[in-house]
Chains A and B, each alone.
Chain A
Amino acid sequence: MTHKPLSSLCLVTALALVPFASSAQTLRFAAQGDAVTMDPYVVEEVFTSGFLGNVYEGLIRRAPDLSIQPALAESWELLSPTHWRFHLRKDVTFHDGTPFTADDVIYSAERVRAGASDFKNRLAADTEVVAVDDHTVDFITTEPNPILHYTWANWYIMNRDWAEANNIGNADKAAAEESYATLHENGTGPFRVETREPGVKTTLTAYDGWWGKGSVPMNISDVEYTPVPNAATRVAALLSEQLDVVFPISVQDIARIEAAPNAGIKAGPEVRTMYLTMNQWRDTLPGSGLEENPLKDRRVREAIYRAIDIETIHARILRGRATPAALMVAPGVNGYSDTFKRYDYDVERSKELLAEAGYADGFSFTFQCSNNMYVNDEAICLAVSNMLAKVGIDAQANVQAKAQYLEAILAPNMDFGMAMLGTTPASLDSHIALYSLHMCPRADENSAIWAPEDQGQIIAGKSNFGGYCNPEIDRLANEILIETDEDKRNALINEAWTITTEDVAYLPLHQTWAAWGIRDKVDLQIRADNVFDWRYVVMPE
């Protein structure tokens, strides 16, 4: 008899829970790899920061069409070209219930620029961050920066009290002790982490106190994330309805999923541009056996460009799921323009150009390729190599897995004649693409490109491993950085792209399409930067 009150209480609770239970929607989702850590400043990697964007939030966020939206900052204004004021949202709490204030922004600004943070470039070291009051923060830069906040969509705000209470120090990649932030989070986002087994499973639940409730169509209450590296396993799990959303789907599997009665595909171009980089700074071309470097000659670079039949790659290898590119930035990136056209595919013209440059008999070089980094990367590389053979150029494709590949092509080795890479500008603005890929990689105007003793200091041009260098581009990039008038700025960007296209600085290939496998009746928004925003997921009731 003594049990009775307790059991009836249980019954009442159970009844009270029923309506919630029936509307509880669990999103079961799988991708290739796991989020590396729950600490938002340790690795800048699309999946990890995209995943954490559902848990943490930045001052701004990107909408499904990649436009900038207010998030933790309600609005902002420019008080002077170097003085920004951000007004913070007032009704925000972290997952542990602590209210969000300006002090958290100050803390995050300190931590994101300290230690081994991968996000140091979100905020210049000399930018002053000042709390005006609890909900107003000023950013004072030394130089005008019209796109200050463009990269902030994944600069997530952390809570100072929580970090200090749990002894979370600076981001550290070579630590001796595990950081509390590796497995735990305290964000302001729509989801909170319930359980976390790295590499196995992570479960999350919707955060009841989320400030943005009702602003999005989201109807999921739980998320179960499983990393599934094996592509065939991912597809099988989707088709057997054990998963609702699966990413990425390889080109070969798309038709099969489209034919399945219970699943479908959503696909669209990525914002990442695939390109070939040509080594134009080495005095001798790696793998050529020549005394000189033919790729220093613009005509040779154009000849290579014209020898590549992008339409065939597009149709055969990517089965139509790619957008050929003429620029080093994709549609959707500020400064992109469709007035630029690719150099036409023209084998005869290519041979003429080679003959003019004195290489009628062709030459050889090493062509470094990856086989697990991009969509069908190995097949594309081999196709390019075959196409170049038709004009007498022997591009010796060396296909390797990511780890070995990156070691070969990144500084200090840079051991390639040509290499295939992809680039996504973090700010979704042309400046960063000009700045890291096109500026001269040298300490100052008088030093050599990629001089070994200066390599540690190179920041402008730091991803320019092919060593393209045109002082005019350096000048334009520096002007674009501080030009606050939008029209003038866009004109400068256009001028810069005209020069780099004329120079054949790089050989842009295409934007491949990303394909998501989705169970029937599940709706979501795919984004060109491959970030999965769970707020837009609608599951069938």
Chain B
Amino acid sequence: MIRFLLERLLQAALLLLVVAFLAFVMFRFAGDPVAQMVSIDTTMEDRTALREALGLNDPLPTQFAQFVMRALHGDFGLSYQLGRPVAALLADRLPASIELSLIAFGLALLVGIPMGVYAGLKPESWLSRAFLIFSLAGISLPTFFIGIMLILIFGVELGAFPTFGRGDTVDLGWWTTGLLTPSGWHSIILPACTLGLFQMTFIMRLVRAEILEVMRSDYIKFARARGISKTRIHYGHALKNTLVPVMTIAGLQLGSIIAFGIVTESVFQWPGIGLLFIQAISTVDIPVMSAYLLLVALIFVSINLLVDLLYFLVDPRLRMSSK
């Protein structure tokens, strides 16, 4: 167990280094940050001086080494555009992204799993068919389209929900939350539905397929033969055994919705890290972009690690073999 953890941590560190390096190489093609920082009338002389001061003239390995050294000390520098420490910018924006992702994810699980179970147990019923059609829409429609449609219907036509922003937030000192105010909850519904829809339909289809599979297996037949109640078979045996693959996928998905809620965040002007990143790309704000990519890699690594650890809890076979 300890060895497993150590191995994983080492892998994670390597992965972060590789991500940082790839990001660094990519930035060469992102455009010229200096052109974004000066007005079109700035003289060449001032541009050159700025490029020098930012260290953009140093060779790539030097720049990379400096970046890694500073990052190890938790210093990601100042944003080129906003002139603020990148770490502070990310810390300001992270709560919004995490709250949105967790609500969206919770929604996806709470609705997706029961729908999947139902569709798996009663594959022939009309409701299951309706679920399947609905899920097809959820999987195939692009996020921005869903977002815009929700805005048009519930925001503009019905006027039921705010169409952008996070509503009023409460500052807890280390975390700003929108989940303690009515307007915060009001604002989070549309973006959470948009972000969660794909996950929800995805989870629903996965659970359905797993249940269909498990229901055909021998131990379920034996359980039936023993006369165990339907409820216990369905929820005690079948559902539990479908959870391992669902957990793996769901874990990865959680990482991707925290990290790549970019489209949803931009459609709803949700002030999270995705929005920050998209603004950074358009202005070639290299410190923000590199810190964001590292953060995303870190989120994925941590979630994967968590999922691996959760296996031990859910699947007794793993516990046995590791002993």
A200 near B35 (CB under 8 angstroms)? no
Q: Is B124 an interface residue (CB 8 A)?
A: no
User: Number of B residues whose C-beta is below 8 Å from A?
Assistant: 55
Distance to closest chain B CB from A201 (angstroms): 8
Instruction: Give the contact stretch, choosing among B152-160, B214-222, B227-235, B310-318.
Output: B152-160
Q: Is A447 an interface residue (CB 8 A)?
A: no
Whole-angstrom CA separation of A116 from B279 in the bound complex: 23
Residues in A with CB closer than 8 Å to B33 are 403
B275 is contacted by which of A121, A199, A201, A403 (Cβ under 8 Å)?
Answer: A199
Residues in A with CB closer than 8 Å to B278 are 229
A116 near B50 (CB under 8 angstroms)? yes
B279 is contacted by which of A229, A240, A402, A463 (Cβ under 8 Å)?
Answer: A229
Q: Is B290 an interface residue (CB 8 A)?
A: no
Whole-angstrom CA separation of A411 from B38 in the bound complex: 13
A175 near B151 (CB under 8 angstroms)? no
B41 near A426 (CB under 8 angstroms)? yes
Q: Is A406 an interface residue (CB 8 A)?
A: yes
Interface residues on A, range: 35 or more
Distance to closest chain A CB from B316 (angstroms): 47
Distance to closest chain A CB from B294 (angstroms): 20
Distance to closest chain B CB from A415 (angstroms): 12
Q: How many A-B contacts are there with CB distance less than 8 Å?
A: 154
A118 is contacted by which of B39, B45, B151, B282 (Cβ under 8 Å)?
Answer: B39
Distance to closest chain B CB from A274 (angstroms): 14
A42 is contacted by which of B83, B267, B269 (Cβ under 8 Å)?
Answer: B83
Q: Is B284 an interface residue (CB 8 A)?
A: yes
Known: A226-B165, A242-B162. A178 touches B85 (CB 8 A): yes
B156 is contacted by which of A120, A200, A236 (Cβ under 8 Å)?
Answer: A236
A178 near B83 (CB under 8 angstroms)? yes
B46 near A116 (CB under 8 angstroms)? yes
Chain B residues 19-38 with CB under 8 Å of chain A are 29-33, 35-38
Residues in B with CB closer than 8 Å to A201 are 165, 271
Instruction: Give the contact stretch, choosing among A50-58, A454-462, A515-523.
Output: A454-462
Known: A197-B271, A233-B267, A463-B40. A457 touches B151 (CB 8 A): no
Q: Is A198 an interface residue (CB 8 A)?
A: yes
Q: Is B92 an interface residue (CB 8 A)?
A: yes
Cβ-closest chain A residue relative to B77: A176
A200 is contacted by which of B38, B44, B85, B271 (Cβ under 8 Å)?
Answer: B271
Known: A226-B164, A240-B163. A198 touches B82 (CB 8 A): yes
B164 near A173 (CB under 8 angstroms)? no
Distance to closest chain A CB from B234 (angstroms): 43
Cβ-closest chain B residue relative to A454: B44
Q: Is A239 an interface residue (CB 8 A)?
A: yes
A236 near B32 (CB under 8 angstroms)? no
Whole-angstrom CA separation of A531 from B148 in the bound complex: 29
Residues in A with CB closer than 8 Å to B32 are 403, 406-407, 410
Distance to closest chain B CB from A438 (angstroms): 14
Contact with A along B258-281 (1 / 0, CB 8 A): 000000001111010001101100
B268 near A456 (CB under 8 angstroms)? no
Residues in A with CB closer than 8 Å to B276 are 199
B53 near A236 (CB under 8 angstroms)? no
A458 near B164 (CB under 8 angstroms)? no
Residues in B with CB closer than 8 Å to A407 are 31-32, 35
Q: Is B105 an interface residue (CB 8 A)?
A: no
Known: A426-B41, A456-B44, A462-B44. A406 touches B31 (CB 8 A): yes
Cβ-closest chain B residue relative to A457: B45
B43 near A182 (CB under 8 angstroms)? no
Cβ-closest chain A residue relative to B278: A229
Known: A406-B35, A458-B43. A372 touches B282 (CB 8 A): yes
Q: Can you add 5 more A-B contacts, CB < 8 Å, to A242-B164, A458-B43? A: A36-B81, A39-B83, A173-B50, A199-B271, A406-B32
B residues apposed to A, CB below 8 Å = 29-33, 35-46, 48-50, 53-54, 77-78, 80-85, 89, 92-93, 148, 151-152, 155-156, 159, 162-165, 266-269, 271, 275-276, 278-279, 282-284
A residues apposed to B, CB below 8 Å = 33, 36-37, 39, 42-45, 116, 118, 120-121, 173-179, 182-183, 197-201, 226-230, 232-233, 236-237, 239-242, 372, 401-407, 410-412, 426, 436, 455-459, 462-463
23 interchain pairs (CB within 8 A)?
Answer: A33-B279, A37-B83, A173-B38, A173-B83, A175-B83, A178-B83, A178-B84, A199-B276, A226-B269, A229-B279, A232-B148, A236-B156, A236-B164, A237-B164, A239-B156, A240-B162, A240-B163, A401-B31, A403-B31, A404-B30, A412-B44, A456-B44, A458-B44
